[in-house]
Amino acid sequence: MISNQYRKLIYLILILIPISGNSQTVYRKPDSFFASDTILNKKKVYFCSATAGLALIGTYTGLGAIWYSGEEKSPFHFFNDSQEWLQMDKVGHAYSAYQVSRIMSQAFVWSGVKYKTATLLGSGIGWLMISPVEIFDGFSPKYGASATDLVANASGSALNLLNGLVWQEQRLQLKFSFHPSGYAQFHTAQLGSSPIEQIFKDYNGQTYWMSVRVHSFLPEGHLKKKYPRWLNLAVGYGGEGMTGGYFIEPWGAIHSREYRQFYLGLDIDLSNIKTRIGFLDAALGVLNMVRIPMPALEFSKKGVKAYGFF
């Protein structure tokens, strides 16, 4: 749905909580603000809980006032948008839920909460921060609640659960990248009229990545000692030819133009780069939600393309 693209901006603002990084190895001084506590720190727990609560209340109060206050209300209903936008919006929902869950889990680890408990708390909060948007949409005559959006949200939080409960580290990470497409200039209403709008609205320029922490999967030995901790392998998903949902164009016209893109490339795991400066490590942990341009191969119905930096 078009409104979901705008709301991604709010989702990304929510996850820029200044408590991140990788708690597996702490290089900071024990009394550093950014160092994870080894025992429960109630003040930090209260701070994290209050931050999450205020973010949740503020976000949905703002959504109600800005996007829905002027709309007519309809009886609550569901809307099937599962076939639109080559499911790019669904991957975006999973990405958003994963990132909020990851940051909130790390915030509780920072507070001295045991890793598995922090993962459960963070994943639950992440899903709750993203999913209530469907309640607003359910009363909107233009859209409707989306069951597939809820499933996508759950899958993102579930990925954070998998990482935390099985490995106690982020071995499988969802990331985002963007490049300007040639479609937005001809469809500004749907895809954005400014570069910032296009990042959130133009699915043709978006790519979502599953970045695999290769070092963690290597068996103990010489190779693992030599392999860079920060060098990941990533698989990506994108698409082109998307200019509107089915409520704008007939399905046949859209289907004949759209096509999927798959990628294989390298990735830099910023959260595995340690600087011995607490604030900088935290900032790298937050920035790790984005894939830095690196070599990649693209596979689509148009063939195979190689990129030095994508």
Handedness of CA 210, 216, 221, 226 (dihedral sign): positive
Enter the DSSP assignment of 84: G
Rounded CA-CA distance 283/181 in Å is 29
Residues 6+ apart with CB under 8 A from 199: 178, 192, 205, 206
Please tell me the predicted confidence (pLDDT) of residue 14.
47
pTM for this model (two decimals): 0.86
Q: How many Cα atoms within 13 Å fall on the side-chain side of residue 167?
A: 14
Rounded CA-CA distance 12/97 in Å is 10
Residues 6+ apart with CB under 8 A from 71: 140, 141, 142
Overall average pLDDT of the 257-263 stretch: 94
pLDDT in tens, 172-209: 999 999 999 988 888 888 888 888 889 988 999 999 99
pLDDT in tens, 58-90: 777 766 665 566 667 888 889 888 888 999 999
User: Is 111 in contact with 48 (CB distance < 8 Å)?
Assistant: yes
Please tell me the predicted confidence (pLDDT) of residue 253.
59
* 6-15, 197-206, 224-233: least confident range: 6-15
Domain boundaries, the chain: 2-307
Q: Is the pLDDT of residue 29 over 60?
A: no
User: Is 136 in contact with 64 (CB distance < 8 Å)?
Assistant: yes
Q: Is the pLDDT of residue 229 over 80?
A: yes
pLDDT band at residue 7 under the 50/70/90 scheme: low
Rounded CA-CA distance 150/152 in Å is 5
**Strand 172-178, strand 259-268: pairing:** unpaired
Overall average pLDDT of the 19-44 stretch: 62
- Name the percent of the chain lying above pLDDT 70: 83
